[in-house]
Structure 1
Amino acid sequence: MTVSRAQFAALYEQYLPAVSAYLRRRVERDDVDDLAADVFAVAWRKRDAVAPGEELPWLYRIAGYLVANHRRRLAARASVLGWFAVPDSAPAADAALDGDPALAAAWASLSATEREVLALVVLDDLAVADAAVALGVTPNAVSVRLHRAKKSLAAALGASGDSDPA
């Protein structure tokens, strides 16, 4: 699909808030604007690679790669400076989880893959097919990952409820 400057500008205006929200759940707030700009710079260079109707998951996929690179740079910088390494896991608990310690603990107990698929489908509100594009896997793989992630989260929430003395 060939995208004109005007079409790309419209895509930018339409999807910048969603891409920024995606990034806010994955990196420090100070890094969001720079990474969002990088996402759209890469998208502009590769604009002929996007399939019609898959623009947002395609942008999320680009953002995912940039977040991974960003975390690797932070980890390398931290190890050189002797500080603790920045984890390279999928998103930390969203700010909404902070108000519920049991949910935040259950979220933290999930694997990076489980958190990422749940974040895309639940927090970013992507359909399974769109999450598949964002993750670079098949929709069937996303369905399986999502089912397992929901099961793991439910088990973790159940376990935290069982340990509650009340």
Structure 2
Amino acid sequence: MNGINKLGSIQLSMSFLITIIISITLLVGGIALIKNFYTSAVETQQKLDERTQQRLAELLNEGQQLAIPFGQQTIERGEGYVFGLGILNIGDEASFVVEVAVSTVFDDADKEVPTDVVNNLINPTSWLLYDNTPQVIGKNEQRVVSILAEIPKDAPSGLYNFNVKVLNAGQPYDKIQKIRVKVT
């Protein structure tokens, strides 16, 4: 009877030890994942280069409510580029939301790809990373939103056009902006 108790105690101790090891492993994995996301976000912001920042400031200071300088880029498969979207709030303090959707896609022969094929081919949320949460911008203040375009390695070559809409209280704020990505 005493030997069975000792065996049960050892099994219980081993189970507890294994549970602790698994918990620590999951904790370390979670911390590493969060660090990876944070590092990626910081690098994305740094990639919005000085030239783009300067051009955005010029366009917004000229009175444009929305601006995307250098809105057309050639990007190789597996590579990325950070577009900058500038927002100038000319009204009272308000909440703005950015939305991006596929407009049109042209293949290498400059033929438009049908919408049903595009919907199966491309998922803009996986290609374009940006902050789509409401952003409060004060009266006459400017905000720059980074839009990271990461092209999958298996993406077909062609010209991908995206509509960038900024909404204020659910209504479009100024004209739709365009991002054009030529995949090579």
Structure showing the higher helix proportion among its residues: 1
Relative contact order, higher structure (CA 8 A, sep 6+)? 2
Q: TM-score range by the shorter chain?
A: under 0.3
Q: Scaled by the length of structure 1, what TM-score is found? A: 0.23
Q: Scaled by the length of structure 2, what TM-score is found? A: 0.22
